[in-house]
């Protein structure tokens, strides 16, 4: 007999914590509340919280495994496997690797985007987290439009975001430190980088039509879309009119309010919550959550952040933990169109994390179950074989 019986934990069911056993088989949560003696193994969750796995729809921390220092590359398979270990150990059971395809060479080039897509597709069976491809399209990257459209039509892209960092790039040319960081990332000389920026910006008039064509292709393929760093309500309305229903990191409150009025999903960075504000000086995510202007938190650039953010929101009295958990599990699953996860419910995908919450604001992951498989365990003594599990079940009756 196969399967896993999780006993003794306080499970998040809806918005209530209930001490109840969970039975897992064939990748699904098959039963809640009953003792099952016929499963192959038992996991003791005493004194732990049992929570739905985290769904991270925007994270690019994997880039540090690809290029830990400017110009220092490591193989993509090595980087992705190491990133998989990191996301799982932080309770992330579904991860969308936010891959930027820019007009730049180097880390965010077309070659890297192609390589990442192929690596993710090839490695998926070996990865513990459900690993998906979130393509961040720099809208000035006009030469890539046809290839990206083909990817969208073939449903190789799981989420598609429109990014426009050109204004920030041009502004950074006058700031030596920022300029050098951009140049180092591309591998170009400073002079060649300047010429590239000039050539790309000269095609600005072509960008809106390209956005419209790609949005139409994504709509037809059923690929959900995001717009990144919307800075005015008008920008959010324009993207919504093209079927872009996820507002990712709106830069001010009025834009976030427009997104909320329009029923859009609104994404902010979990590191913003953990650190008490944005590293760029923009909107505080905790304020937006308190005002009902944030529905999703993403890891952004730091995989431990979603877990820590949920517990900080509860500790700070912004929202109860059950509501905070929605921001990193149920809501991102819904935004991404994944109806089979994000909650502990019979028939759902068995993505479950067990958390020791005894130390305030420092939750500790004890175990992670992804698609019914125990993929991470820090306390092996909690795992029992079938015979011991049955004895304990009988004793509990």
**Per-residue pLDDT tens for 198-230?**
898 999 999 999 999 999 999 999 999 999 999
Of 67, 65, 98, residue with least CA distance to 84:
65
Rounded (10°) angle between helices 233-240 and 253-261: 30
Q: What is the pLDDT of residue 386?
A: 52
Structure tokens at 170: 């041009």
pLDDT at 397 over 60: no
Q: What is the structure's pLDDT at 351?
A: 98
Q: How confident is the model at residue 41 (pLDDT cuts 50, 70, 90)?
A: very high
For residues 394 and 45, what is the distance between their CA atoms, to the nearest angstrom?
17
Q: What does DSSP say about strands 130-138 and 49-52: parallel, antiparallel, or unpaired?
A: unpaired
391 pLDDT more than 50:
no
Radius of gyration of the chain (CA): 22
140 SS3 class: coil
Say if CB 105 and CB 187 are below 8 A apart.
yes
Q: Is the pLDDT of residue 21 over 80?
A: yes
In which residue are the tokens 């809106």 written?
208
Q: Which residues of 373-386 are buried (b: 16+ CB within 10 A; e: fewer)?
A: ebbbbeeeebbbeb
Q: pLDDT-based confidence at 297, cuts 50/70/90?
A: very high
> Locate tokens 């990442």: which residue?
116
The pLDDT of residue 278 is above 80: no
Question: What pLDDT sits at residue 394?
Answer: 40
Q: Interior CA angle at 92 toward 4 and 219, to 5°?
A: 115
Q: Output the pLDDT for position 193.
A: 85
> Torsions phi, psi of 201, nearest 5?
-65, -20
Read off the pLDDT of each residue in 256-279 and give the average, rounded to a whole number.
94
The 10 Å Cβ neighbour count of residue 37 is 14
Distance CA 5, CA 186 (A): 50
Q: Where are the alpha helices (DSSP H) in 294-335?
A: 305-315, 321-328, 330-335
**Length of the chain, please?**
397
Containing H/E element for 243? none
| pTM of the shown model | 0.91
* Average pLDDT value for the chain: 92
CA distance 110 to 99: 10
pLDDT in tens, 151-189: 999 999 999 999 998 877 777 777 887 888 778 778 888
Collapsing DSSP states into helix, strand and coil, what is residue 347? coil
**Domains along the chain?**
4-52+344-396 (2.30.40.10), 54-335 (3.20.20.140)
pLDDT tens digits, one per residue of 330-346: 999 999 999 999 999 99
Q: Could you give the count of Cα atoms lying within 13 Å of 390 in the half-sphere of its Cβ?
A: 8
Supply the DSSP symbol for 144.
G
């Amino acid at each position: 007999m196969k399967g896993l019986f999780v006993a003794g934990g306080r499970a998040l069911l809806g918005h209530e914590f209930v001490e109840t056993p969970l039975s897992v088989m064939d990748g699904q949560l098959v039963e809640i509340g009953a003792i099952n003696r016929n499963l192959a193994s038992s996991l003791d969750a005493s004194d732990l919280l049992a929570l739905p796995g985290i769904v991270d729809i925007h994270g690019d921390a994997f880039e540090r495994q690809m290029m830990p220092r400017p110009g220092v590359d490591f193989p993509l398979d090595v980087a992705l496997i190491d990133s998989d270990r990191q996301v799982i150990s932080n309770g992330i059971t579904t991860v969308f690797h936010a891959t930027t395809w820019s007009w730049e060479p180097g880390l965010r080039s077309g070659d890297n985007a192609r390589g990442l897509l192929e690596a993710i597709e090839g490695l998926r069976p070996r990865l513990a987290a459900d690993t998906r491809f979130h393509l961040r399209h720099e809208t000035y990257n006009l030469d890539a439009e046809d290839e990206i459209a083909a990817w969208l039509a073939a449903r190789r892209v799981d989420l598609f975001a429109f990014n426009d960092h050109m204004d920030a790039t041009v502004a950074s040319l006058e700031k030596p430190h920022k300029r050098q960081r951009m140049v180092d990332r591309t591998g170009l000389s400073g002079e060649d980088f300047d010429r590239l920026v000039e050539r790309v910006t000269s095609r600005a008039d072509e960008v809106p039509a390209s956005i419209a064509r790609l949005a139409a292709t994504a709509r037809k393929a059923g690929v959900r879309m995001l717009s990144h760093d919307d800075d005015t309500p008008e920008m959010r309305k324009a993207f919504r009119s093209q079927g872009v229903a996820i507002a990712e990191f709106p830069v001010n409150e009025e834009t976030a309010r427009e997104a909320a009025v329009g029923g859009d999903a609104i994404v902010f960075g979990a590191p913003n919550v953990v650190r008490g504000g944005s590293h760029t000086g923009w909107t505080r995510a905790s304020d937006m959550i308190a005002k009902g202007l944030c529905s999703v938190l993403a890891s952004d650039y730091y995989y431990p952040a979603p877990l820590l953010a949920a517990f900080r929101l509860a500790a700070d009295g912004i929202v109860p933990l059950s509501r905070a958990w929605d921001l990193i599990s149920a809501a991102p699953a819904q935004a991404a169109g994944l109806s089979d996860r994000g909650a502990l419910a019979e028939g759902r995908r068995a993505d479950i994390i067990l958390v020791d919450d005894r130390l305030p604001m420092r939750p500790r992951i004890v175990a992670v179950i992804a698609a019914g498989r125990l993929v991470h365990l820090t306390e092996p003594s909690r795992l029992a074989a079938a015979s011991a599990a049955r004895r304990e079940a009988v004793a509990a009756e």
